[in-house]
């Protein structure tokens, strides 16, 4: 009976509730609620809400802008700086476009906000890079960076752009015309991202490697932590395997534990890493082959030089590469008035392991070298027996030569120009203006030797040779090795070192025969000191692609830099043929 009574009362209660909705009491209560909301919806609260949206957007764009640089830096030891940059802007733009255009679809498909996925993706980036590097030999310098960033950086770009689009939907642009209101969020976001990316690049160029957080993996770890703080998520438990791998098994992290792990894997292939550092020109390491006792200095995907440790103890070290010995032939160029070594002065642009400057010092020549990277200088001293008799110049060579040519008026009997980093030539050091400064710094009968590494079938070497010949009246060109016609036909490239000897004075350029003292008790100098494999400038200009290239001026380097990828790809192949893939992938 009680249950029946309750059932009978229910309709009456519902009716009562419905009728109560029109009572004065209910109406008064709703008015008070609206008044309370209106009171809270003040101008300051609306402004604060807008500011929060803009700040969240700026944080997201800043994190992606920094990550854009960190991603390229992480690829450079495996592929080189130029291949790492070839697809970078394109894949980043594609990822941002997909995220911006698809934010509504992501909201419908995903069970959480897109920004909550960002920490999870960022934490897995170092792990994915580590495993993808193991396929670098198969993918090559053309597709390796594309695949790697497609799996690591692009998801971050997609999720960031989608999150930014979500945030900016709440921005009040009612005061703008509709056309501007539709365009400003997208254009403004992209402009802000590019600005942050540029600022981050400049800061990293100055500070990379100074502390752990400015290393490649350090930045990725710091950025992943920043994403975690910005958008905490219950799904972060899924990132525990990534955290464990990065902390314990990733040799790319610059810690003593990771270095010990790296040596464990390298020793399986008879290699041992002696030291490593990240600096302004790239990832730098000193590695030794335990069987042959070959010690090399690596910068990104390039070798700056090396020597045979077991040959140490002579007057100079025995270099791995003959080209560095041939540069010393500047002393053999005959001059109208011969100069004694004790009275001569030399300038060396680019240090490497110090093969050429150490030899000049051993001959008693006062030698000044200019090196932009302090870590290269430190490692040359510590691991390659660098010899010095003049304070080093650790500075950008362009700044130094500008000052020396225009202010100090330093003049030299010999100049050696040998610069090469990360698989490409620094184009700014091959311009008409830079060679003009070197011309000014030479004595009237002085001699310069210029080492250029590149694919002689491409246009860039032709432009550089023309620029050199325009500045110096008398030059002769030599290859490191004679051309291998079969390999050139098969590969479609002719990558080699080319040494260009020039005099400041007009007249014939000839070399005297070396005497015993010139060799410094060095077998490699007995074999390679005197230049061999001469080529004529006309042969260079008519060889391969192009032939009518003009001079390279400081304000025209962008076009040349755009054409560096084939040259860098050729160098990448040379390095992979010189040393095994695992050497480069494990860095």
Give the pair of three-digit tokens for residue 500: 């260009």
Q: Cβ-count burial of 482 within 10 angstroms (0-12 exposed, 13-18 middle, 19+ buried)?
A: exposed
Cβ atoms of 354 and 423 closer than 8 Å: no
SS3 content of the chain, % helix, strand, coil (to 5): 60, 15, 25
Element (H, E) at 74: helix 43-79
Distant-in-sequence, close-in-space partners of 7: CB < 8 Å, separation ≥ 6: none
Q: How far apart are CA 434 and CA 442, in angstroms?
A: 13
- The candidate with the shortest Cα–Cα distance to 139, out of 79, 60, 82, is 79
418 is catalytic: yes
Q: Which of 102, 233, 232 is nearest to 162 (CA)?
A: 102
Q: Give residue 442's Cα distance to chain centre.
A: 33
Q: How far apart are CA 316 and CA 207, in angstroms?
A: 34
Strands of 176-216 (E only): list them. Answer: none
Which of 378, 386, 334, 336 has the alpha carbon at shortest distance from 360? 386
Token duo for residue 129: 């890079």
Instruction: State the alpha helices, DSSP H only, in 472-564.
Output: 485-491, 516-519, 523-528, 537-541, 557-562
The sign of the torsion formed by the CA atoms of 412, 413, 415, 416 equals: negative
Is-contact 159 113, C-beta < 8 A? no
Name the active-site residue from 300, 418, 455, 494: 418
Query: Token pair for residue 406?
Result: 């225009």
Could you give the residue numbers annotated as active site? 418
């Amino acid at each position: 009976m009680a249950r029946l009574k309750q059932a009978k009362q229910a309709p009456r209660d519902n009716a009562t509730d419905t009728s109560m909705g029109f009572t004065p009491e209910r109406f008064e209560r709703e008015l008070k609620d609206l008044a309370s909301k209106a009171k809270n919806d003040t101008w300051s609260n609306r402004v604060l809400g807008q500011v929060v949206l803009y700040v969240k957007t700026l944080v997201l764009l800043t994190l992606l802008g920094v990550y854009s640089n960190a991603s390229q830096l992480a690829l450079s030891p495996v592929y080189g700086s130029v291949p790492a940059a070839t697809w970078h802007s394109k894949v980043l733009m594609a990822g941002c476009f997909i995220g911006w255009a698809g934010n509504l679809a992501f909201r419908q498909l995903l069970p959480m906000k897109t920004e909550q996925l960002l920490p999870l993706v960022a934490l897995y980036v170092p792990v994915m890079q580590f495993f993808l590097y193991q396929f670098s030999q198969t993918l090559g310098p053309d597709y390796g960076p594309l695949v790697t960033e497609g799996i690591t950086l692009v998801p971050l770009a997609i999720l960031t752009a989608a999150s930014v689009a979500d945030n900016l939907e709440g921005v009040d642009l009612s005061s703008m015309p509709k056309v501007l209101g539709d365009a400003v969020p997208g254009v403004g976001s992209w402009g802000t991202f590019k600005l942050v990316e540029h600022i981050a690049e400049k800061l990293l160029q100055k500070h990379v490697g100074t502390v752990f957080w400015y290393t490649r993996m350090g930045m990725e770890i710091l950025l992943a932590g920043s994403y975690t703080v910005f958008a905490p998520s219950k799904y972060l438990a899924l990132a525990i395997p990534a955290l464990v791998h990065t902390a314990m098994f990733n040799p790319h992290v610059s810690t003593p534990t990771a270095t010990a792990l790296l040596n464990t894997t390298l020793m399986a292939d008879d290699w041992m890493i002696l030291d490593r550092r990240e600096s302004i020109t790239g990832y730098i390491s000193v590695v030794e082959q335990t069987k042959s006792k070959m010690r090399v200095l690596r910068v990104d995907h390039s070798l700056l030089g090396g020597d045979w440790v077991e040959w140490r103890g002579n007057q100079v070290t025995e270099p791995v590469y003959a080209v560095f010995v041939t540069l010393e032939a500047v002393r053999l160029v005959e001059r109208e008035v011969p100069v004694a070594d004790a009275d001569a002065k030399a300038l060396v642009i680019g240090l490497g392991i110090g093969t050429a400057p150490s030899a000049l010092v051993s001959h008693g020549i006062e030698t000044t070298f200019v090196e932009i990277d302090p870590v290269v200088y430190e490692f040359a001293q510590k691991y390659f027996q660098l010899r010095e008799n003049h304070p080093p110049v650790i500075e950008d060579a362009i700044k130094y030569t500008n000052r020396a040519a225009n202010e100090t008026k330093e003049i030299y009997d010999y100049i050696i120009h040998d610069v090469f980093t990360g698989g490409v030539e620094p184009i700014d050091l091959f311009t008409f203006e830079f060679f003009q400064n070197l011309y000014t710094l030479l004595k009237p009968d002085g001699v310069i030797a210029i080492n250029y590494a590149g694919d002689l079938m491409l246009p860039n070497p032709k432009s550089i040779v023309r620029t050199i010949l325009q500045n110096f009246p008398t030059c002769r060109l030599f290859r490191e090795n004679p051309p291998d016609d079969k390999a050139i036909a098969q590969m479609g490239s002719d990558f080699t070192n080319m040494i260009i000897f020039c005099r400041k004075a007009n007249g014939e350029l000839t070399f005297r025969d070396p005497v015993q003292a010139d060799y410094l008790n060095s077998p490699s100098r007995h074999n390679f000191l005197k230049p061999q494999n001469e080529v004529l400038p006309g042969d260079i200009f008519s060889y391969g692609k192009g032939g009518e290239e003009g001079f390279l001026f400081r304000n025209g380097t962008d076009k040349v830099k755009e054409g560096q990828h084939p040259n860098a790809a050729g160098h990448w192949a040379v390095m992979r043929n010189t040393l095994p893939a695992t050497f480069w992938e494990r860095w």
